[in-house]
Amino acid sequence: MSADDASRWDARYAEPGLPSPPERFFQAHAHRLPSSGRALDVAGGTGRNGLWLAGCGLSTSIVDVSRVGLDVAQRRAEERGLSVQTICLDLEESTPRGPWDVILVAWFLVRGPWEGLVSSLSIGGSLWVVHPTTRNTERHARPSARWLLEPGELDARARASGLEPLVSEEGWDEDGRHTARGIWRRR
């Protein structure tokens, strides 16, 4: 990412708005979360998924390129009586130090930092991902295909990295987006 990308996200997160709820897929599989441990919300922005993780009792860090988004996440955590660590970092340049028991990635294309994230998982740790595929362009102009996964790519990438699938699915979600969704465990 460039400084322009950080500025663009800062401007977006500076706009007032209600907090978005956590990803439904993540909530539906909350029973798969460990009862304790370290969690990382990748490209977590204003913390919609990271705050959910913290509320589930995990020691949570939120990483994003936008300091403005992270400041919003920190404020929202304090308002809810939650504790989170925020890390302002360009994930294309480096990955936060693990080991992590849970890594969540929602709507962030992780091709570049993929190996760094997988290697930072603890043994038995799990990677949770929701991201649109190129089939999404059948109904939506954005995001463009450049920022989308190919059908089957997410599961193939996870398996090629030696991760064990716990849940892996693709299809049209409740919001009419074609997404790849999954949870994979490091053996």
Tens-digit pLDDT profile for residues 94-145 = 999 999 999 999 999 989 889 999 999 999 999 999 999 999 999 999 999 9
Tens of pLDDT, residue by residue over 30-86, are 999 999 999 999 999 999 999 999 999 999 999 999 999 999 999 999 999 999 999
pLDDT band with cut points at 50, 70 and 90 for residue 4: confident
Q: What secondary structure does DSSP assign to 95-162, as a single string?
A: -----EEEEEEES---TTTHHHHHHTEEEEEEEEEEEEBGGGGGT---S-GGGSBPTTHHHHHHHHTT
Residue 167 bridge partners (DSSP): 183
Residue 128, domain member (yes or no):
yes
Q: For position 2, what pLDDT does the model report?
A: 58
3-state secondary structure of 181: strand
Domain count, the chain: 1
Expressed as residue numbers, the domain containing 94 is: 3-10+21-186
Measure the CA–CA gap between 126 and 68, rounded to whole angstroms. 28
Residue 16, domain member (yes or no):
no
Residue 15, domain member (yes or no):
no
CATH of residue 28's domain is 3.40.50.150
Residue 115, domain member (yes or no):
yes
Residue 120, domain member (yes or no):
yes
Measure the CA–CA gap between 108 and 180, rounded to whole angstroms. 12
pTM value surpassing 0.85: yes
Residue 114, domain member (yes or no):
yes
Residue 36, domain member (yes or no):
yes
